[in-house]
Amino acid sequence: MSADPQQNDDTPAAPKPKGRGRLVLIAVPVLLLAVGAGLWFSGILPNMLGMGEKSKEAKLAEAAAAPKPPTFIDVPELIANLNAGGRRTGFVKLKAKLELPRAEDAAPVQAAMPRVVDLFQTYLREMRPEELRGAAGTYRLREELLARVVPAVAPAKVDDVLFTELLVQ
């Protein structure tokens, strides 16, 4: 046996403070989480990560790229007789506008307007008065006219056909 008292196995070792180590292991992550949450909700951390408010140049570029208001083109007033069969003759009077997403498409659509009017007239002459009754009939008419105008004015784009007046007699 050695004369060194620290190497003696019979001597009890000093007890380690277990409570302080556990406290550090729990307190440090909780403290880091609290600081991170404070930085996040105060807006400092999102700005540091590049997710904060945009610069003035970015806002101006975004405003320039904002969608422009649509352009509307009038379709000439249409009056067509309906396919009423052997019964009394029925008529439809239609005033409409075409909604274009870009103002540049107005010239090609105006150039194709005679074709559009012909397609609308031809379709209206085949309609029966019962098909135009109610909101469902109006919606169906809008969808059918849109399906006919889109290929007629291609490559220009038409978003919608809007009715300003629709009279069925």
Phi and psi at 54, nearest 5°, equal -80, 155
Q: Which amino acid, one-letter code, is at 114?
A: P
Tokens representing residue 15 in the block:
């007890």
| Domains of the chain in sequence order | 18-64 (no CATH), 71-168 (3.30.479.30)
Cβ count within 10 A of residue 82: 20
155, 144, 63, 140: which is closest to 100 by C-alpha? 155
pLDDT score of 18: 66
Per-residue pLDDT of the chain (169 residues; tens, 9 = 90+): 555 555 555 556 666 556 777 888 888 899 999 998 988 888 887 777 777 666 667 667 776 676 788 899 999 999 998 887 776 788 889 999 999 998 898 999 999 999 999 999 999 988 888 888 889 999 999 999 999 999 999 898 999 999 999 888 8
Tokens representing residue 106 in the block:
């107005």
Distance, in Å, from the CA atom of 95 to the CA atom of 79, rounded to the nearest integer, reads 9
pLDDT score of 151: 93
128, 73, 68: which is closest to 96 by C-alpha? 73
